[in-house]
């Protein structure tokens, strides 16, 4: 795994006002890499691709509410090699994390904010066995689509907010994933609000998250942008709430919700089809040849405003309320 300092150096070369000072000394030595298509899934079950991780030369992916009965194992050409049944009936899985050969399914989707509990489902990639860890928020229901797991087993979730700041939660008492009761519930505690810097956008709807395999980098994504953080001594919680990210515009996607690091430090992103053709999985390489020949104005990479999907979702919510509410997730027993 390349260190995050290199990743940031590559990205910081795209902006005249980079947001991570520790990488600025190296920034002029690199030109930016760009997202490029890696491969295109063809299995119709991945029409609602929401969560994705990379383990060695395999991509593990799954859809969200209504299409999350299986985890799909794909090769690097997006060809499905195996369908692994989810061992515990989920409600609405929105994101994936991984530790070794164990997947963590973030069963935290709650579009209508009606769930009494949410859950982490752990799943052994070799045996297919799983465990259920129910969780409760201290301040009412939230819709959450991003899970972050560090190499030591500390786990965090980031809420998806239509307007305003997103919040970061973690199990109380600094519990690691392996400490959580089965099936629980375990209370979550709020760490704080996601920091986006002094010129923060008005609204960001986070749809996926990932942590690099060495724990040095965090990626949060929205429908339109990637936010990269360099992890500080306080860990994921302190990093998200106290430091500023580098904001990178993403290629156009129908409804982008998946993000992952591979072991080389590359960033992969994926999208739902939103009723159209399945879009490709894109990759941004972490390292390119050193050069000082290219720089792009800060307006191309860092800016403020509103995630354009905010308006789309606001319209959907308003229409749903006018009609008396629409069931966005399937009817299953609430966790």
* pLDDT per position as a tens digit, 243-266: 999 988 899 999 999 999 999 999
**Residue 125 located in a structural domain:** yes
- Residue 154: which domain range? 4-322
How much is the pLDDT for 321?
A: 43
Side-chain half-sphere CA neighbours of 333 within 13 A? 6
In a domain, 204, yes or no: yes
User: What is the pLDDT at residue 325?
Assistant: 41
Residue 331 within a domain: no
pLDDT tens digit sequence for 9-33: 444 444 323 333 334 223 332 233 4
Q: How much is the pLDDT for 185?
A: 97
Residues 63-110: tens digit of each pLDDT: 886 777 999 999 999 999 999 999 999 999 999 999 999 999 999 999
Give the CATH number, domain containing residue 21: 2.120.10
> What is the model's pLDDT at position 309?
53
Residue 18 lies in a domain: yes
Domain count, the chain: 1
Q: Give 115-143 as a DSSP string.
A: -S-EEEEEEETTT--EEEEEEE-TTS---
Please tell me the number of Cα atoms within 13 Å of 316 on its side-chain side. Answer: 11
* CA gap 213, 100 in Å, rounded: 9
Is residue 249 included in any domain, yes or no? Answer: yes
pTM of the complete model: 0.82
Those residues of the chain that have pLDDT short of 70 are 1-33, 65, 199-202, 287-335
Strands (E) across the chain are located at: 35-39, 49-55, 58-63, 70-74, 80-85, 95-99, 102-107, 118-124, 130-136, 144-149, 155-159, 167-171, 186-193, 208-211, 217-221, 225-230, 246-249, 255-261, 267-272, 281-284
Quote the CA–CA distance of 261 and 188 in Å, as a whole number: 26
User: What pLDDT does 164 receive?
Assistant: 86
User: Exposure of 317 by Cβ count < 10 A (0-12 exposed, 13-18 middle, 19+ buried)?
Assistant: middle
């Amino acid at each position: 795994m390349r260190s995050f300092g290199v990743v940031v150096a590559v990205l910081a070369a795209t902006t005249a006002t980079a947001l991570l000072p520790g990488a600025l000394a190296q920034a002029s030595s690199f030109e930016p890499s760009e997202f490029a298509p890696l491969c295109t899934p063809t299995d119709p079950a991945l029409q609602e691709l929401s969560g994705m991780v990379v383990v060695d030369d395999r991509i593990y992916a799954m859809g969200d509410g209504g299409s999350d009965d299986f985890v799909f194992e794909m090769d690097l050409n997006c060809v499905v090699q195996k369908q692994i049944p989810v061992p515990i009936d989920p409600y609405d899985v929105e994101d994936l994390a991984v530790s070794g050969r164990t997947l963590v399914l973030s069963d935290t989707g709650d579009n209508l904010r009606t769930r009494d509990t949410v859950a982490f489902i752990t799943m052994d990639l070799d045996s297919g066995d799983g465990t259920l860890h129910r969780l409760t928020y201290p301040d009412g229901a939230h819709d959450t689509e991003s899970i972050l797991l560090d190499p030591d087993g500390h786990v965090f979730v980031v809420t998806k907010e239509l307007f305003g700041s997103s919040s970061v939660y973690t199990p109380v008492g600094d519990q690691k994933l392996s400490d959580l009761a089965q099936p629980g519930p375990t209370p979550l505690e709020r760490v704080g609000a996601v920091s986006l810097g002094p010129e923060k956008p008005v609204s960001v709807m986070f749809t996926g998250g990932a942590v690099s395999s060495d724990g040095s980098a965090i990626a949060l994504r929205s429908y339109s942008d990637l936010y990269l953080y360099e992890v500080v001594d306080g860990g994921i919680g302190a990093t998200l709430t106290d430091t500023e990210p580098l904001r990178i515009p993403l290629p156009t996607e129908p409804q982008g919700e998946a993000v992952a690091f591979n072991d080389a430090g590359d960033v992969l992103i994926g999208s739902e089809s939103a009723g159209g053709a399945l879009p490709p999985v894109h990759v941004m390489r972490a390292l390119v040849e050193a050069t000082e020949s290219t720089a792009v104005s800060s307006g191309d990479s860092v800016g403020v405003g509103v995630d354009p999907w905010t308006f789309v979702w606001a319209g959907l919510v308003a229409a749903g309320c006018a009609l008396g509410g629409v069931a966005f997730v399937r009817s299953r027993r609430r966790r």
